[in-house]
Amino acid sequence: MSFDHKIADISLHEAGRHQIRLAEHEMPGLMALREEYGESQPLAGARIAGSLHMTVQTAVLIETLTALGAEVRWASCNIFSTQDEAAAAVVVGTGTPEDPQGVPVFAWKNETLEEYWWTASQIFAWPGVDEDPTKGANIILDDGGDATMLVHKGVEFEAAGAVPSAGEEDPEEYRIVLETLRKSLGENPQRWTGVAQNLLGVTEETTTGVNRLYQLAREDSLLFPAINVNDSVTKSKFDNKYGIRHSLPDGIMRATDVLIGGKVAVVCGYGDVGKGAAEALRGQGARVIITEIDPIIALQAAMDGYQVATLDEVIDQGDIFITTTGGKDIISAADMQKMKNKAIVGNVGHFDNEIDIAGLAAIPGVEKIEIKPQVHEWVFPDSKGKSIIVLSEGRLLNLGNATGHPSFVMSASFANQVIAQIEIFAKSHKTHAGEDVYQNAVYTLPKVLDEKVARLHLPALGVKLTELSKDQADYLGLDVAGPYKPEHYRY
């Protein structure tokens, strides 16, 4: 079997396979789903266009999807996050480097933005799709919403008959998206319309992508059903929090080797990711200061024992600054000039617009020195050599400077993804009629499935769950088998 793919180095496949094998042991949720659904093949006929960090853990996800019958094409959702050995192992599959039998992957560490958007379009370039759109992807598995955005923009511009020019204010990356689509419309003026018609839905991994989906739904322009995987409790309350608690200090340490203990760390945003970040930094002995815009969350941070301040107040005190907001323009170029010498600046929110790297680069006379890939010292002019250290150019540092969240927590996230893919494939309104089907709206998974994902992870940790008696269940108004909490419960 030969198939198109583009990765850094296929000879890394053995190293990748060893890591995947160990990751499988740490991903009991995904392995249990393989066991449960391997025979019934609920994803037979599914053609999944995946856009999610091409790591070792994602390799286990991809191979779970194929074990359940799906065909898959994959790209990473970040230019720095691919683990090249994992990509190689997924391409080779059960074959050899000369005769790969795995999955077409289009991802490598250190893509340019042009390359990134090319890889994003490749996950929709299924053989024969231009002649017959029904040969294309029928589900998206997205992280951050770039793949979903590409389809929506493509359809919008095809309907208008042209791709607009970028405005003065538009970021450089948007120009590249427009360029990618202009080229695509030149090749086939109805490509994205065909792609969208064939899509049964999308399952979205992260807060930022989910926000984008709700915006599309509010504008009534969502082109297919969507499942919000992020807001499964077993996703956002675990991956966002405990995942970052592991991978944030991992990234800072691999990048800088700076002792975190005793330092002042400023964490912007105290949502799920911010909570994990703050706990990790405090655990290492840092004095952590939080910035927040939400009074409830600011109060929460204060009750958890953190100082809550504005960035302005503490800009010259912090040794480490981490953004976790999912918002934009959190740390400006002027802020960075006010920081202490050798302050470390990094972001773990989904996009790189939390820290104004373009503004930093535009300071006249500023010098950028590469310490090593994804670690840059920026030396300010006329400042007696004062500099700051920026990690991963303002992109997700836990994936750029380290290898992202560990397997166990990703097993919970990805078990939700697999269940959501099965749901969409089985019950999209595009192929099924009836009450119990997904419309062009955003859904979360039913709580009973969320509880199932948690259950799948308990034995590996030696957790012994107490069982409700029938009598106790009746008293609480519950079913013995769950769900145990109402929808509005906040955990």
Interface residues with ligand NAI (CB under 6 A) are: 206-208, 236, 239-240, 243-244, 268-274, 291-294, 297, 324-327, 330, 348-350, 396, 398, 405
Nearest to 75 by CA among 108, 30, 46, 102: 108
DSSP-assigned states of every residue in 329-382: -SB-HHHHHHSPTTEEEEE-SSSGGGB-HHHHHTSTT-EEEEEETTEEEEEPTT
CB within 8 A of 367, min separation 6: which ones?
A: 378, 379, 381
Do strands 375-379 and 367-372 pair parallel, antiparallel, or not at all (unpaired)?
antiparallel
The strand ranges marked E within 234-335 are 264-268, 287-291, 307-308, 320-323
Q: According to the annotation, is 240 in a ligand binding site?
A: yes
CB of 406 to ligand NAI, least distance (A): 11
Across the beta sheet with 387-391, the strand order is 307-308, 287-291, 264-268, 320-323, 343-347, 387-391, 375-379, 367-372
What phi and psi, each to the nearest 5 degrees, are found at residue 291?
Answer: -115, 140
| 22: number of Cβ within 10 Å | 12
Rank residues 308 and 363 by Cβ distance to ligand NAI and give the closer one.
308
Rank residues 62 and 397 by Cβ distance to ligand NAI and give the closer one.
397
Q: According to the annotation, is 233 in a ligand binding site?
A: no
CB of 411 to ligand NAI, least distance (A): 15
Rank residues 26 and 354 by Cβ distance to ligand NAI and give the closer one.
354
Question: Is residue 107 within 8 Å of residue 461, measured between CB atoms?
Answer: no
Rank residues 89 and 268 by Cβ distance to ligand NAI and give the closer one.
268
Rank residues 403 and 428 by Cβ distance to ligand NAI and give the closer one.
403
Q: According to the annotation, is 477 in a ligand binding site?
A: no
Q: According to the annotation, is 405 in a ligand binding site?
A: yes
CB of 343 to ligand NAI, least distance (A): 18
Rank residues 28 and 269 by Cβ distance to ligand NAI and give the closer one.
269
CB of 260 to ligand NAI, least distance (A): 18
Q: According to the annotation, is 294 in a ligand binding site?
A: no
Q: How many Å apart are CA 90 and CA 17, to the nearest integer? A: 8
Rank residues 198 and 236 by Cβ distance to ligand NAI and give the closer one.
236
Question: Is residue 488 within 8 Å of residue 456, measured between CB atoms?
Answer: no
Torsion of CA 303, 307, 311, 316, to 10 degrees: -170
The residue with its CB nearest to ligand NAI is 271
CB of 229 to ligand NAI, least distance (A): 11
Q: According to the annotation, is 64 in a ligand binding site?
A: no
Q: According to the annotation, is 292 in a ligand binding site?
A: yes
Tell how far CA 335 is from the center of its chain: 27
CB of 417 to ligand NAI, least distance (A): 13
Q: According to the annotation, is 310 in a ligand binding site?
A: no
- Output the known binding site: 55, 143, 205-208, 235, 239-240, 269-276, 292, 398, 405
- Output the known binding site for substrate: 55, 143, 205, 235, 239
- Output the known binding site for NAD(+): 206-208, 240, 269-276, 292, 398, 405
